[in-house]
Structure 1
């Protein structure tokens, strides 16, 4: 069978899928049958033609049908397994889970067809198949809903082909394939990409499978389809896509173990839309505005100076500007004052504090794993590199190759794992493969540990090739840093350091085949490694190489996420074909600039912060209020202050710094080496996170995923801000900012101005001043008012 695609080309250069809006007729219906929707089924050998009628246009396409009189048996591995994939029988929610369901266990999405064949034909006394009466087979009767089935009638859908394949395989005698079965080499999706304009909201897809013997087969109806964004596009079991609103979506097409995507863009043109042609500050704006223009989205206006000064201080240094700093910036009339402010913030110590803190979150710097001494050392090592602006490829190389004591060589803490029965241990090779892939490639590899990734190209082989880089890693206690069993101070724990080293022994084997897995980087060819070499040194060179298609993109995408609240690829550590970027050209341009600048992180931050895109207002304009993907305006909802920034901002606004056990007075949360800062006592020193930070989603630093941090609004957080003990304590502190201003004898109007500048980074409006003064005048006590 063959899925026909009919495309109309128009005078304006646009293309439109007409497959479901034209008449398709075979000149010889006895040779081929064509159903509505373009599915062509051969009936007999011969030559004929198909006539396509679309409006007043017609086209005639020759058709040659061969070998119909030489029927081939249904392929168990290429067709029957694919039919189960489409029906969802071997999905993770059904019989594809490790324990199976209802006593019936299939490999997840058919990754082990040999085991599936045995399960279908031999297990449970072979009761699931009937070699003499196909229609009496349990798998068919349950799949068609003829007898009770918890999963429902999985073979009764708009796509009849899976049911036909299953019945035919059963009727032919439930045969497995011969050893000469050609291997699947690649899958092709047509069209691979397309831009469509309303009202043309439908697009039929066709999927072709290419095999090792050179044969090509249409497998559209044996392909499982899904969409990357249900709000923008939906897709049915036959591969018919319906676009719902302006935007882009990737349609995931999975045939057997191979996944390909079709990238579709849909535009709803507005006759009244006029591109405002805003000025471009740099290449960031060129790429962002080109995308917005193509999507008929207007960018918002530039944010005000008051908005910018607050945004820049918080985003770059995690601090509020002081009232004096606000006044200085707002009163400055220089045309380049924003660029100068960005330059000055990048050179402040607070920038290094903040960026180090962000990375330590995902590097899992916590005292439960690496001890407080390790956390201090880890932070200081990373912060000093950021302050010196060490090229990021050198920082990552040092991290991946670190050996020695985790106390005296801090980057060695990257390899340290959670305690095992009270003893410090090194992380396993598999955990390190997952961490390295997610942190420095932006790839979540975890799914490929047990089976081929269900939504990406990565296989079990790829997973264990990555793990092989760390197979020879070893650790032993550092006898010189064991600490003392005594507790001179309650907040000092017994500290256990590890010495990280490699000894040339240790390999990774494939859990299914038992094959020895050689080290190989994702998306790159296998390198030649000397037997006596530290594999990690080779890994570090490959990871940070300009030839690595992921390292630079993953790094700049994470920086973009930190500054704008949403990654170009979002989530920022989830690069996959089924999660396409919002702007490919922008991502590639930033990655190239990063490499060209010798992996200069400050240069990338400066480039983004100086762009008009970064400096856009959060106020919607020209119908862009629904856009949360293409950066037409600042995303306030996605950029709520994190727990640490909120606590520090409250302390700064009230003028009452928080005190953390064992830390110097005035220490901000982003300067802490570890999130556990509250001593809870006990026979052995016990620590916990600050209750305010915990309430507002501070991560425990136990995962490498940015998703560990929670930023959603909820009732508990609203109540904490309104009458929580921490906030009330800061407001009532006798020596806080208000107390100091009252002691100076300033006028009520001046006090209001100072409080607004300290809290909102702007002077109050006239109505706001009048409202506050009226309230204070009526109160018996100015301080409590």
Structure 2
């Protein structure tokens, strides 16, 4: 063994073994071997597990099926199962336990727990202590095993309805059922809908009403002496008092109105307020103005919905295409997410529409072909075993806040709540049949019966055999009010979104061995969320109107999650600092520089990935499921904010600089910039420093003459390096027209469409160098519509490494891009036929990025005859008075006050 280890070690050192290509088990084994050599293969220390006296009456209540087997499955099955029997020992049945293995037979002696070899191995009285290489059993788990053996090691396999005492099974424990009062008119109505409605959405909502009766009593908020605004504060202050913190006697201050204003705007609609909105709120003297502002912003349903879209696109893996490189995506859910939040759709209904094919609003898979093979873009993918378990893991992560993926090919290394069999049983609910147990790519030929991982009261145990009913059943159980993780996961996400760190953390790793910081508050919020009808706005309002949310940021009191200390207490005496997302940052800059933000130009609608958006952690594509963006501030981000062309254009081309430059006094110009960026006036010190900076550069403010220039890109010839393409191919798509052949506006010829079909296009692509377009520049071209044969629609498209920028006139028939976004921007009616008309499109309207060159221009039409001529860009000259003011604005936008939610 030693020589094998040493050779393996040498292979690693000489880089002959690539860890990245090894399976996780092999890599883990290799690293353990390396660690063993480094320590001289020292003998592992015995972990002492305290034991206590056994009560015969309590021992008689312990069940093998409900209490003991989950512990053994979680801790022992990896090495001692029916298909993996190290030491010839199988721990999967009572009979095999009694039989024992090579070193100890029997492993258990009924009635004599401390004489049983299994107990001795678990306690470390015999070597090696079990489970070998994994965390040892808790005192409670060992006590249960000893109790069961003392009571005779009764095998109750197959018996139903057994009450559980096991910590490992506590997450599956059924809630105490309340008796249903059918005499209640509301309950009777819900039962009638369940029995007679054909609408599955109505049935789901009625089922929710009936199942809510099973919920246990909600935790009672503690009585406290500290300042509180609602029930949330009672739980928070109650813990301060319980822990004897000084804040219980001297409560932290709430934040200023200015801080609250920016915080609430960014949290609810994802952008800062305009100057007018900020001044209106700050000048309001009413005591309840904060609550009124929360309600006002929640009522801006389109802005509220737009702010939620990026989070859910990341969480669902939503893509703007149905396949990438021939591989199907999870589907495109952008419009559905947006509309769901505009409607404030109940959260359980929203989740059901993703998974349940029997729901009227079900998001159907998109079926297409790639390389002659059928592809299915869908949220639930089950074309293969791997895709099925990935879908189940994604559902578990996003909607149950539970990391199951590590249990897909072996028992979870870090969370023994998830043996592989339990996860595969859950995965089978998303498949057309039960899943095979495949351990580390080794097929067993054994199939795991599909089963929901949590025991819910009074639900059918049998799983439907057909695929659609099976998805319907897993959806019912997933969103059921008695599911111990569904509602809790969502309210925890809301808490993390608005306070900065979850009641349990990480938010995707809800587990039994790491309790929430405030379990009673989590239970209360989940119960309240369910009883509100899974109304997200209801719970959001409750959080945002609490004093806890409104506390002043204090780095000395800020909570943090340390993976090395997962159970370290959190008290929420200060919110946690939160970095703005790419969407929040860029949209807020656009709003600040223009004092308005067109909803059609919000960043989430732009599918283009730029150096700036990538540096700000906006994913270039959503191949991985994610419920949070990186909070790290990387060097590449700092470089983009310092030197990036796109960031420069966004700041220095905005109209706010023109307005500031027209001020006659420097102090007023400075104040205008502070109000636009930070929603407050500059302090006397800030004004002094800024005026000194402007004075040092000898910059005066006031009007200055600006000029624009026109740069023609396409006229009688294509741009350098560009090639023709389009409908009918390069030879047929593009047709040049001389003055003798048709209308010409500029030069010697125009161009028209040559290919056949109703919807046609001709393209110039591959220009090198490309066309550089600034943020305030305007794209233009000239068009002539044949009055005898006009089209129904015309469209222009621009490529910046991909065709994601479009504007159209007339009917919305050419279905490229996403409606009402920069990828398909409506410009109005068709231009007048029978004459040359100049079309102009502001670059910002179609999401053209100043950071990248335009390398292609496409001319599209639906029907008719269309002629095109001179095309290019109108470039706006920069006002020299604006540049130093732009430097001030840049400093404000890169300051921590702007970059973070405080």
Asked if these proteins are the same fold (TM beyond 0.5), I'd say yes
Matched residue, 2:615: 695
Matched residue, 1:775: 693
Question: Which whole-Å deviations, capped at 9, do the CAs of 1:156-213 have from their partners, x for residues lacking one?
Answer: 546699xxxxxxxxxxxx974589866789xxxxxxxxxxxxxxxxxxxxxxxx9795
Please give the alpha-carbon distance, in whole angstroms, between the structure 1 residues aligned to 2:680 and 2:142. 48
Change (3 A) 1:749 1:96: closer
- TM-score normalised to the size of structure 1? 0.59
Matched residue, 2:644: 724
Change (3 A) 1:587 1:665: closer
Please give the alpha-carbon distance, in whole angstroms, between the structure 1 residues aligned to 2:449 and 2:420. 13
Aligned partner (choices 551, 569, 572) of residue 632 of structure 1: 572
Residue 324 (str. 1) matches residue 258 (str. 2):
no
Aligned partner (choices 277, 290, 293) of residue 241 of structure 2: 293
Change (3 A) 1:418 1:156: farther
Instruction: Write out aligned runs for 1:64-213 (5 A).
Output: 98-99=25-26, 149=37, 152-157=40-45, 176-177=88-89, 213=110
Matched residue, 2:635: 715
Q: Is the 8 A contact 1:456 1:577 kept in 2?
A: no
Larger displacement relative to structure 2 (347-356 or 775-784): 775-784
Change (3 A) 1:276 1:713: farther
Aligned partner (choices 568, 572, 586) of residue 507 of structure 2: 572
Please give the alpha-carbon distance, in whole angstroms, between the structure 2 residues aligned to 1:359 and 1:467. 22
Matched residue, 1:601: 536
Change (3 A) 1:738 1:562: same
Matched residue, 1:511: 438
Question: Which whole-Å deviations, capped at 9, do the CAs of 1:256-312 have from their partners, x for residues lacking one?
Answer: xx98699xxxxxxxxxxxx99531111211112222333344253100000000000
| C-alpha displacement of 1:356 | 2.5
Matched residue, 2:661: 742
SS of the counterpart of 2:438?
coil
Question: Which whole-Å deviations, capped at 9, do the CAs of 1:87-143 have from their partners, x for residues lacking one?
Answer: xxxxx99x99544899x99xx9xxxxxxxxxxxxxxxxxxxxxxxxxxxxxxxxx99
| C-alpha displacement of 1:776 | 2.6
| C-alpha displacement of 1:392 | 0.7
Change (3 A) 1:746 1:560: farther
Residue 396 (str. 1) matches residue 348 (str. 2):
no
Change (3 A) 1:156 1:471: closer
Residue 281 (str. 1) matches residue 229 (str. 2):
yes
Question: Which whole-Å deviations, capped at 9, do the CAs of 1:204-226 have from their partners, x for residues lacking one?
Answer: xxxxxx97956545534436799
| C-alpha displacement of 1:424 | 2.6
Matched residue, 1:764: 682
SS of the counterpart of 1:453?
coil
Aligned partner (choices 872, 883, 888) of residue 784 of structure 1: 883
Residue 520 (str. 1) matches residue 480 (str. 2):
no
Aligned partner (choices 602, 609, 625) of residue 668 of structure 1: 602
Aligned partner (choices 638, 641, 646) of residue 580 of structure 2: 641
| C-alpha displacement of 1:696 | 1.5
Please give the alpha-carbon distance, in whole angstroms, between the structure 2 residues aligned to 1:303 and 1:346. 21
Please give the alpha-carbon distance, in whole angstroms, between the structure 2 residues aligned to 1:442 and 1:212. 40
Q: Is the 8 A contact 2:488 2:522 kept in 1?
A: yes
Please give the alpha-carbon distance, in whole angstroms, between the structure 1 residues aligned to 2:362 and 2:367. 11
Matched residue, 1:429: 388
Instruction: Write out aligned runs for 1:253-652 (5 A).
Output: 277-297=225-245, 298=247, 300-348=252-300, 349-369=302-322, 378-402=333-357, 411-412=363-364, 424-425=375-376, 427=381, 428-454=387-413, 455-472=415-432, 506-511=433-438, 513-524=444-455, 527-532=461-466, 534-620=469-555, 624=557, 630-637=570-577, 639-652=578-591
Please give the alpha-carbon distance, in whole angstroms, between the structure 2 residues aligned to 1:321 and 1:465. 49
Please give the alpha-carbon distance, in whole angstroms, between the structure 2 residues aligned to 1:251 and 1:741. 70
Change (3 A) 1:226 1:746: farther
Matched residue, 2:592: 653
Q: Let me know the Cα RMSD of the aligned residues.
A: 4.6
SS of the counterpart of 2:376?
strand
Larger Rg: 1 or 2?
2
Please give the alpha-carbon distance, in whole angstroms, between the structure 2 residues aligned to 1:670 and 1:608. 26
| C-alpha displacement of 1:437 | 0.9
Question: Which whole-Å deviations, capped at 9, do the CAs of 1:432-454 have from their partners, x for residues lacking one?
Answer: 11111111111111111111222
Change (3 A) 1:752 1:308: same
Q: Is the 8 A contact 1:159 1:238 kept in 2?
A: no
Q: Is the 8 A contact 2:321 2:331 kept in 1?
A: no
Please give the alpha-carbon distance, in whole angstroms, between the structure 1 residues aligned to 2:48 and 2:538. 56
Please give the alpha-carbon distance, in whole angstroms, between the structure 2 residues aligned to 1:285 and 1:748. 46
| C-alpha displacement of 1:370 | 5.5
SS of the counterpart of 1:536?
helix
Q: Is the 8 A contact 1:302 1:616 kept in 2?
A: yes
Larger displacement relative to structure 2 (376-385 or 324-333): 376-385
Gapped regions of structure 1 (runs ≥ 5): 1-91, 109-141, 162-173, 186-209, 228-234, 241-249, 263-274, 473-505, 659-663, 678-688
| C-alpha displacement of 1:608 | 0.5
Change (3 A) 1:321 1:252: farther
Change (3 A) 1:395 1:178: closer
Q: Is the 8 A contact 2:660 2:670 kept in 1?
A: no
Q: Is the 8 A contact 1:183 1:212 kept in 2?
A: no
SS of the counterpart of 2:333?
helix
Change (3 A) 1:753 1:451: same
| C-alpha displacement of 1:704 | 2.1
Q: Is the 8 A contact 2:47 2:123 kept in 1?
A: no
| C-alpha displacement of 1:598 | 0.7
Question: Which whole-Å deviations, capped at 9, do the CAs of 1:56-98 have from their partners, x for residues lacking one?
Answer: xxxxxxxxxxxxxxxxxxxxxxxxxxxxxxxxxxxx99x9954
| C-alpha displacement of 1:748 | 2.9
Count of aligned residue pairs for this structure pair: 526
Question: Which whole-Å deviations, capped at 9, do the CAs of 1:584-607 have from their partners, x for residues lacking one?
Answer: 111111101101101000001000
Q: Is the 8 A contact 2:589 2:651 kept in 1?
A: no
Question: Which whole-Å deviations, capped at 9, do the CAs of 1:434-491 have from their partners, x for residues lacking one?
Answer: 111111111111111111222231121211111212212xxxxxxxxxxxxxxxxxxx
Please give the alpha-carbon distance, in whole angstroms, between the structure 1 residues aligned to 2:132 and 2:525. 32
Please give the alpha-carbon distance, in whole angstroms, between the structure 2 residues aligned to 1:429 and 1:238. 32
| C-alpha displacement of 1:355 | 1.4
Please give the alpha-carbon distance, in whole angstroms, between the structure 2 residues aligned to 1:578 and 1:96. 27
Please give the alpha-carbon distance, in whole angstroms, between the structure 1 residues aligned to 2:109 and 2:337. 49
